[in-house]
Amino acid sequence: MRKGLTEFSIKHPWTTIMITVAITAFFAAQFPNMKIDTDPENMLPENEPNRVFDMQTKEDFDLSDFIAVGVVAEDGAFKPDLLNRIYRITGEIEEIEGVIVDDILAPSTVDDIRQGSGGAIVIRTLMEDEIETQQEADYILGRIKANPVLRGKLASDDGKAIAVFVPIESKDMSHRIAAEITEITKKYGGNEKYHIAGLPVAEDSFGSEMFSQMAYSAPAAMLIIFLLMILFFRNMKIVLAPMVVAIMSVIWSMGLLILTGNTVHIMSSMIPIFLIPISVLNSIHIISEFHDHYKKYKHKDATIRHSINELFVPMLFTSLTTVAGFLSLALTPIPPVQVFGIFVAFGIIMSWLLSLTLNPAIAMLISNKTLHNFGQTDEEHGPLSKLMHGFRNISGRRNLSIIGAVLFVVVVSAVGLSMIEVNDNPVKWFKKSHPIRQADEAMNNHLAGTYMNYLVFAGEEDDMLKSPEVLNYMEAMQNELVKDEIVGATTGLSDIVKKVRYELFGGDPADGVIPDNQDEVAQMLFLFEMSGGNPDDLFKFVTSDYTKGNLWVQLTNGDNQKVSAVVDRATNFMQDNPPPVGINVHWAGLPYINIAWQDKMVTGLRKSLLGSYIVVFFMMVFLFRSVRWGLISMLPLTITIMAIYAFIGYIGKPYDMPVAVLSSLTLGLSIDFAIHYIQRIRTIYRRNHDFNEAFHEIFEGSGRAIIRNVLVIAIGFVPMLFSTLVPYITVGAFFLAIMVVSGLVTMLLLPALSKTFKRTLFVAKKKAKAEVVAVQTQNA
């Protein structure tokens, strides 16, 4: 197997190419069946209890996801002209396909409960028609402020902001509908600013921007990697092979993903961007080896055989460790992350296979003339070599200082790690300058919040929500929740009952209380329905059988950490004040769903990271047949993970979904250089059992290969740093950091350790020599 594949490729290059092209064509043919899924809710399995409850809540109360449209005018939004334009804008929004017209919340659609002539209770549309005078505008603002159901939601108390909530049939329409709303606001807009916010928009827009970023990032990274490789190897034809390998492994794994009926989720859309560099890494080692030895052998097939032979084991293990890192994602309880892990792992194995077959096959087809000058460049005196010689000098002479410095870094990192804060907010996946981020900020500064959570009070019997005890409990919970800085408003059945009672008794605040008997509650609600109140409005807060009540908890911040604090506050409150007998309280809503899957993700990924760390360690012990070397090989990986995550801790970047998932990448990639280093230095050492020779030589061929890898991948990902989407920037920064840190640690610490502990690490000369001889005779 080890030699067979490559041997076949060397002897039958065309057949090899034809086979791989055919397989590629097969998988590429699956692409038209691609199904895209940008719903972060799918981060939870469909039968996950929190998700099931959320779905049930939406159905019980006929709730929809909504887009929040904010109008901010610093000189005051309550002016006849602006209100009339919002009136017209709302009218046009009603015409948009996919908007649930009856549930739109806007000055021209919401009902207000007020006193009519003769003390009558009137429930009427707040702004029934266009208005003419400033008094009318002021009146509308006054009514909003006087209505607990509308206050802060529809307008800011200072009258500078007005919100229109647009419920939509399905979340995946929000990007399109948001764009249509923008068109409308442009048509009517004046000096005031229009903002479009809300989790569905952020999530759906992220999905659609992500795919366009994908179409730009992956090819851009590819191009830069390609150019850098041409620069390093000065031979376009040879460099083409790794590119083909990378593209093919992407097509194979994406094709299989589609073929197996999986949807392309936010996570899996990142498969290409992960696979391309990982795939290129192997090829660079092969080409480096080929490049460095071609001048010696001057025969393609001999050079290829030599290169593959030298690299087979380290490449196998670097691939296997990366596979282990990604496969561990399959153990997390988050389906899209599982799919991502499995198919990246598959892609890595395929790219390993292709590097061993397609690379040689393509190399065989390159004419000797093209290769004539290949490897002739004066590598020994090139800049890369100079750099490596510098490394050699430092790690050779200052080995103890390096070890000391690394220990210092470890201690500093340990402190940084303790500062990591787990947090996520899909809105913050956009850069600060992005309109969605700005809308989020502007609207949540002025209004009661664009993040809607629901706290469901589920009774075991009909009419339980009419009970004063339950309503008083709900009111107490509201009073507790609003103490939280991010709770902008809470609205529940309690508020409607109190408002009706307040208006019934003629507007004395002392009457705006929850009645003390159930019949009175029922009659207040009946009065609401008799007075023109829309029953559909009522049933957003209570089911028609009065079994379940729904408290709307509006948040000005969607950070998981902050949302969790609100959830904890409710939990603590319930511990101190148990709910009335027969009432169960549970959360629903998108912000809650987000913290639910974040919890699972953090604990799940911690476990899987730890698991694969151990697996990789055993792989290393097995590979090097030595616990000592096994431990040393884990150092670059450990330090890289620590340093990167400590950095995240220090700069205060939240540990979010992308950061969490990238731990598997860090684990899988950071060990690669160590494998190459240890494998090679030991091979060289075995040749003559001369440590100084091995120490000297490791900084030549292998060192150059490693530094080429560092440069190619690190620079290749620079374009991603300019993405508008934060997760893309994060991924780019991680690749860069992994390469630089693990490269540095490998080429500084490992030599320093090799030198310091050469006696214990490079022992049993005779025994080892005997082994090598035995192997050699065997091979011969």
Partner 1 sequence: MKSAITKLILALVAMSIVTGAAVAQDATEIMKKSHMAYYYAADDGVADVTMTIIDKKGKERLREFTMLRLDEVDGGNQMYYTYFKKPSDVSRLTFMVHKNPDGNDARWIYVPSVDLIKPISADDKNSSFVGSDFSYEDVSGRHWTLDNHTLKGDSTIDGKAAYVIESIPKEAYKAFARKVSFIDKETFMPLREEYFNKKDKLVKIFTADKIDVIDGITTVTLRSMQDVKKNRKTTVDFSRITYNRGITADMFSERYLKNPPRQYIK
Residues binding partner 1 (CB under 8 A): 59, 102, 116-124, 463, 466, 504-505, 515, 517-523, 526-527, 529-532, 534-536, 538-539, 544-545
End-to-end CA gap in the chain: 17
557 Cα distance to chain centroid: 19
- Strands 264-265 and 36-37, how do they pair? parallel
Quote the least distance from Cβ 61 to partner 1, whole Å. Answer: 12
From the CB of residue 205, how many other CB atoms can be counted at a distance below 10 Å? 25
Quote the least distance from Cβ 737 to partner 1, whole Å. Answer: 53
Q: Which of 216, 267, 261 is nearest to 38 (CA)?
A: 267
Quote the least distance from Cβ 529 to partner 1, whole Å. Answer: 4
Tokens for 438, please give them.
Answer: 């700005």
Element at 288 (helix H, strand E): helix 271-297
> What radius of gyration, in Å, describes the C-alpha atoms of the chain?
32
Phi/psi at 131 (5° precision): -115, 170
Residue 608 DSSP SS3 = helix
Quote the least distance from Cβ 476 to partner 1, whole Å. Answer: 23
Quote the least distance from Cβ 88 to partner 1, whole Å. Answer: 16
Q: Which of 583, 598, 582, 600 is nearest to 455 (CA)?
A: 583
DSSP for residue 579: P
Quote the least distance from Cβ 489 to partner 1, whole Å. Answer: 26
Q: Which of 315, 283, 194 is nearest to 716 (CA)?
A: 283
Burial track 335-346 (b if 16+ CB lie within 10 A, e otherwise): bbbbbbbbbbbb
Q: Which C-beta is closer to partner 1: that of 119 or that of 404?
A: 119
Give, in order, the Cα–Cα distances in Å from 29 to each of 219, 245, 258, 261, 269: 20, 18, 10, 14, 18
Q: Which C-beta is closer to partner 1: that of 125 or that of 756?
A: 125
- CB–CB of 241/370 below 8 Å? no
Amino acid code (one letter) for 700: E
- CB–CB of 34/45 below 8 Å? no
Quote the least distance from Cβ 542 to partner 1, whole Å. Answer: 12
Q: How far apart are CA 496 and CA 104, in angstroms?
A: 19
Q: Which C-beta is closer to partner 1: that of 32 or that of 118?
A: 118
- CB–CB of 751/391 below 8 Å? yes
Q: Which C-beta is closer to partner 1: that of 112 or that of 697?
A: 112
Quote the least distance from Cβ 532 to partner 1, whole Å. Answer: 3
- CB–CB of 164/90 below 8 Å? yes
- CB–CB of 429/457 below 8 Å? no
Q: Which C-beta is closer to partner 1: that of 118 or that of 261?
A: 118
Quote the least distance from Cβ 170 to partner 1, whole Å. Answer: 17
Residue 656 DSSP SS3 = coil
Quote the least distance from Cβ 55 to partner 1, whole Å. Answer: 14
Q: Which long-range contacts (CB under 8 A, 24 or more apart) does 575-578 make?
A: 577/473, 577/476
Q: Which C-beta is closer to partner 1: that of 330 or that of 538?
A: 538
Q: Which of 252, 258, 432, 433 is nearest to 353 (CA)?
A: 252
Q: Which C-beta is closer to partner 1: that of 181 or that of 521?
A: 521
Q: Strands of 583-588's sheet, edge to edge? A: 487-491, 548-555, 451-459, 583-588
Residue 514 DSSP SS3 = coil
Q: Which C-beta is closer to partner 1: that of 521 or that of 637?
A: 521
Q: Which C-beta is closer to partner 1: that of 329 or that of 471?
A: 471
Q: Which C-beta is closer to partner 1: that of 124 or that of 569?
A: 124
- CB–CB of 317/623 below 8 Å? yes
Q: Which residues, in sequence order, are CB contacts of 389 under 8 Å at separation 6+? A: 699
Q: Which C-beta is closer to partner 1: that of 119 or that of 382?
A: 119
Tokens for 169, please give them.
Answer: 């049939």
Quote the least distance from Cβ 150 to partner 1, whole Å. Answer: 19
Quote the least distance from Cβ 741 to partner 1, whole Å. Answer: 57
- Largest Cα separation within the chain, whole Å, is 111
Q: How far apart are CA 279 and CA 271, in angstroms?
A: 12
Q: Which of 166, 750, 725, 195 is nearest to 430 (CA)?
A: 725
Burial track 442-453 (b if 16+ CB lie within 10 A, e otherwise): bbbebbbbbbbb
Residue 98 DSSP SS3 = coil
Query: Which bin fits 434, alpha (ψ -120 to 50), beta or left (φ > 0)?
Result: beta
Q: Which C-beta is closer to partner 1: that of 123 or that of 456?
A: 123
Quote the least distance from Cβ 47 to partner 1, whole Å. Answer: 22
Quote the least distance from Cβ 465 to partner 1, whole Å. Answer: 12
Quote the least distance from Cβ 136 to partner 1, whole Å. Answer: 17
Q: Which C-beta is closer to partner 1: that of 268 or that of 467?
A: 467
Q: Which C-beta is closer to partner 1: that of 75 or that of 545?
A: 545
Quote the least distance from Cβ 473 to partner 1, whole Å. Answer: 19
Q: Which C-beta is closer to partner 1: that of 113 or that of 339?
A: 113
Q: Strands of 66-72's sheet, edge to edge? A: 161-167, 66-72, 193-197
Quote the least distance from Cβ 62 to partner 1, whole Å. Answer: 8
Q: Which C-beta is closer to partner 1: that of 539 or that of 757?
A: 539
Q: Which C-beta is closer to partner 1: that of 114 or that of 708?
A: 114
